[in-house]
Each structure stands twice: as structure tokens, then as C-alpha cells.
Amino acid sequence: MQSSGASREANKMLIRRLPLTAISMGAPLPIGLGGADGVGILIRNRNRNRNRKQITSSLFSFCSISSQPDNRHAQPLKPGLYLVGTPIGNLEDITLRALRVLNAADVILSEDTRHSGKLLHHYNIKTPLMSYHKFNESQREHVVLKRLKQAEIVALVTDAGMPGISDPGMELAKLCVSENIPVVPIPGPCALVSALSASGLRTDEFTFVGFLPKHLGSRRKRLAVSADQTTTQIFYVPPHKLSQFLDESSSIFGDARQCVIAREMTKLHEEFWRGTLGEAKEVFSIRQVKGELTALIEGKANSKVEPPSDIELESELGELIASGESLSTAVKLVTGRSSVSRKTVYSLALRKFGKQLEVEDDSN
């Protein structure tokens, strides 16, 4: 049995070895913490409760210190606009750097102050909020610009994901760039990247479309452009417009095109539905869904035909000439059947069959 002095020393060694990250105290503490050599902290018999209290006290003390980001080596933030990525559902997806910026900012521009307030409250951040959304961003720009020119630190957050990506922020970032005000991205969660990475579709090339236009004609025109591309197409779709989206896209892309519907990402009921557009249209016509959706459609199959080789062209020209066609007629027929230019085919025909035809003409 370990002495109380040895036990305290073991606890200190444990705390020194723990990483500088926050620890969740939701789960019960382990009864025994053993090392690779079998030596560890053993909590047993009559010392169990006493030692458990010692460890609990040490760990709570540690958590209270490390619950805030470790800023010992961090540089002070410079004035400017900080575009801060926030969770798309799971609050644990916030980064330590994002927390530091939100805590140090003079003001936080928020798409929905009530929504952002919950995030700030969860992490005990007291920075004041200012509403900034698509209905007031043109009015807010001059107020924000004035504060930025006064060397303030302004953070911008949206309801979820990265600002400026189908969310407020693009115009303000453009304005700051034009005024030579620093614009600093604080990377974080992004629905389109999360959905693409787990979709099972091509990720080497993709096209992010975002939300489609409201007008039917413009919407169908944009879908037609996407349907003709070979890259994976990514759309943001409101839940109440999913059936409309599937009806229109299946009629333009075709029922056989593969698609993925990603919903509730990072949340408890996260789902990735996979199938063809025709199947999706049938399934979601009777199934109601909630929450923002990310829809991905596979790119058009590359149907580019390789041009015929010179040998293939020679063979086809030879057969036509042998059947009685003139050189010019043979060239015209071969050019019409292939993607090769008339000039190339004619040059090949003269090189291979020109002398032969001259001899035949002389003999006649």
C-alpha cells in the first residue's frame, strides 16, 4: 500500500504529464491509473475515497486553469476584421484560436445575436454582439468600417460555418480589402467540405453552387450548366425546397445520376443518404426532413472520344477509294465521321494515296 506522501507525488506526476487541453469531468474518474511497467496510482481499500478526492481536486484545479486557450506563446491580436468559423451543429467543433479571437475582440458581428449568444454563453465569452445580416449589412458597413479604422478588433460570425460562404461577410471583406484593412480568416467547420469529404463522390475536383436562384428560369439555367460539368456539384438546399430541387435536378441531370443528401451533420441524427436522383425524388417526396441540407451530385461522365489514329484514318480512306470514291469525297466522308480536321485528313490522304491515284489516272 502506498503512503500518502508517495500518493501525492504520483498525483503531481500525473498532472505534469497531462496535455494542456480541457478535460471533461462528465465521466467518472478511473479507479486505477496504471503505467506500462505496472507502477501507477492504485486506489483501493481504505485509501480509495481519500485518494479519489485528491485526484479529483487536482484535476478540477487543472481544468479551471486549462479551460481557456494556452496563450503563453500567442502574439497579441492585431486590429482588423477576423472571419471566425463556428460549429455547424456540434459546439465541440470550435477551435481554440476561434475562442481566443472571440474573447479578445472589441465587438462580434453576428448573423443572429440570439443564436451566437448561446455559443458565447457556452464558452463564457462576454464580448458584445452587434447584428450583421443580409438585411442590414449595407447599413452596418460604414459603422463597422469606422471602428476598424479606429484600430479595433472586429470578429464576424454567422449562424454556422465560415462567414462569406453563402452567408454574410463577402461584401464586408471586399470593402476592407479595398481600404487596406487586414482581413484574417480563422478556419473552422464548413458544411460543403464536411459533406464532400464523406460523400463517396469525387473530391479532387468539385463545383460549389450554394443556394440556387429563386426564379424558376434562372434556377433551371444554373442546373443545366451544372449538369454538363464533369466535377462534383454541391448545393445548399433549404429543407422545404428539397422535393422541388430533386424534381428539377432529376429532369435536367437525369434520374440515373448519383447523389448524396447530407443532413444534420455533426449532430446526433447526422445522415448521409446515397442513391440516384430518381430514387431520391421518390424517397423524399413522402419523407419530411428538417435542418439545412447539403446536396451533392456526381459530375457528368467524361464522354470525350479519342481521335482515331493515322492508321485507322488510312484504312478508312483506303476502303473508300478502293470502292470508287474520289480522294476529295473520301476525305469529306472521313472528316464527317471523326473529330479530326479536314486539313489533317486531306494531308494524310495526299501523302498515302496521292501517287497511287496519279498512276491510275495516267493508266487510264
The pLDDT profile of the chain, 364 residues, written as one tens digit per residue, is 445 555 555 554 444 444 443 433 333 434 333 443 443 333 344 444 444 434 333 433 333 434 455 554 567 899 999 999 999 999 999 999 999 999 999 999 999 999 999 999 999 999 999 999 989 888 888 899 999 999 999 999 999 999 999 888 899 999 999 999 999 999 999 999 999 999 999 999 999 999 999 999 999 999 999 999 999 999 999 999 999 999 999 999 999 999 999 999 999 999 999 999 999 999 999 998 988 899 999 999 876 667 788 888 888 888 888 888 888 888 888 888 777 888 888 888 888 887 665 544 445 4
341: left (phi over 0), alpha (psi -120 to 50) or beta: beta
Strand partners, 34: 40
Alpha-carbon distance of 172 to 277, in angstroms, equals: 37
CATH number for the domain whose boundaries are 192-297:
3.30.950.10
C-alpha distances (whole Å) from 32 to each of 18, 19, 39, 62 are 16, 19, 11, 19
120, 123, 96: which is closest to 109 by C-alpha?
Answer: 120
The alpha-helical segments, DSSP class H, found in the chain are 4-17, 48-66, 96-104, 113-122, 137-149, 170-178, 191-199, 216-227, 242-253, 277-284, 310-322, 327-337, 342-363
pLDDT tens per residue, range 53-66: 343 334 333 334 34
Question: Hey, what CATH topology would domain 80-189 get?
Answer: Cobalt-precorrin-4 Transmethylase; domain 1 (3.40.1010)
Buried-exposed string 95-122: b where 16+ CB fall within 10 A, e elsewhere: bebbbbbbbbbbbbbbbebeebeebbee
* pTM of the model as a whole: 0.64
Other Cβ atoms closer than 10 A to 340: 16
At 12, the amino acid letter reads K
Q: For position 6, what pLDDT does the model report? A: 54
Q: What is the DSSP string of 176-195?
A: HHHTT--EEEE----HHHHH
DSSP code of residue 55: H
Alpha-carbon distance of 127 to 104, in angstroms, equals: 8
Residue 194 grid coordinates: 464536411
119, 98, 234: which is closest to 162 by C-alpha?
Answer: 98
pLDDT tens per residue, range 175-193: 999 999 999 999 999 999 9
